[in-house]
Amino acid sequence: MSDRHYVHHEDEVALAKILKESKPWIERFGTTLIYGLAAVLAIAAVIVYVARRPPATASESQALMLAATPEDYQAVADEAANTPIGTVARIRQAELSLQNAVNNMFTDRKLAIEELDKAAATYDRLSERKDVDGVLRERVLAGVARVAETRCDGTDATVKAAVDAWQKLLKEFPESKMFKDIAEDRVKKLPAEATKSFYAWFQQQKPEPGDDLQLPQDGPGKVPAIPHIDIPDLTAPSIAPAKVDAATPAPAEGTPAPAEGTPAPAEGTPAPEKSGE
């Protein structure tokens, strides 16, 4: 007998018997069974969704918005470690520590050095992370360069360290919209003798809280020119300068200024004529 004509008659009979006997049960409980299977699938789908969705960040986002000090940002960064929010918080921690260090350089040099060391350590860790890229890495490299320049004492070694840090920023981000002009300017001016002279003098100063910051009676003495560094504020919104109304006519030449408290003339009032005309 060929395989084509071979049939398992006993299996067909058994299957038909099972279907026949289960037909009343299926007719009675079939709808319930379908709903039960659907419920199980729905629960399984919810479990998979919950397991795969990203963690909630509402509390971390709120804490980031309310943070105001390096310690506040450090707490957010520690709480949200290895997350985008934590990374931004860590960068702000470094930026504010550096800002405090620069401000205290003029009033409390010891505290300034401590703040500068904290900023440098945070920036160094951030610069080594592979997950910090784009604009955030620009800010990190700019911070590293600012730390190097703040530590500059006019010697060739410290000047070179600051120049190298700014050049690294330019190398990685040659078209940086935030820092290109600043970096190019610092690379050009840092090696100048005037800049080196200023930093050599400035690092010798050791201001302390309570020092009399008024100028001496015989004058300020010989102080090197302060090098200008235009660092953009990445957090404060820019304020456009007040516009001058071009329609308002200027006072005639020779017209004396009005006395203090004198109300402005009404709109359309002609300017007073010069005497003798």
Taking only the tens place, the pLDDT of each residue in 94-113 is 999 999 999 999 999 999 99
Hey, what are 25's tokens? 């049960």
Q: Give dist(CA 227, CA 194) in Å, integer.
A: 8
Residue 263 in this model has a pLDDT that exceeds 90: no
In angstroms, rounded to a whole number, what is the distance separating the alpha carbons of residues 142 and 168?
9
Which residue is it, tokens 């506040």? 72
Q: Which pLDDT tens digit goes with each residue over 7-54?
A: 555 666 676 667 677 777 667 766 777 777 777 777 777 676 556 655
The lowest-confidence range among 16-20, 32-36, 79-83, 212-216 is 212-216
Judge whether 232 and 183 are in contact, CB under 8 Å.
no
Residue 189: which of 157, 226, 214 has the closest Cα?
Answer: 226
CA distance 69 to 92: 9
Q: Looking at residue 216, what is its pLDDT? A: 54
Tell me how far CA of residue 214 lies from CA of 11, 184, 217, 220, 227, in angstroms: 108, 35, 9, 9, 22
Pick from 143, 226, 130: which is nearest to 179 by CA?
A: 143
Which has the closest alpha carbon to 131: 91, 158, 99?
A: 91
Q: What is the mean pLDDT of residues 181-194?
A: 96
The answer to which of 84-93, 137-146, 259-268 has the lowest mean pLDDT is 259-268
The span from the CA of 123 to the CA of 129, in Å, is: 10
Indicate if the pLDDT at residue 197 is higher than 90.
yes
Position with higher pLDDT, 269 vs 145: 145
Dump pLDDT digits (tens) for 114-158.
999 999 999 999 999 999 999 999 999 999 999 999 999 999 999
Residue 42: the pLDDT is 75
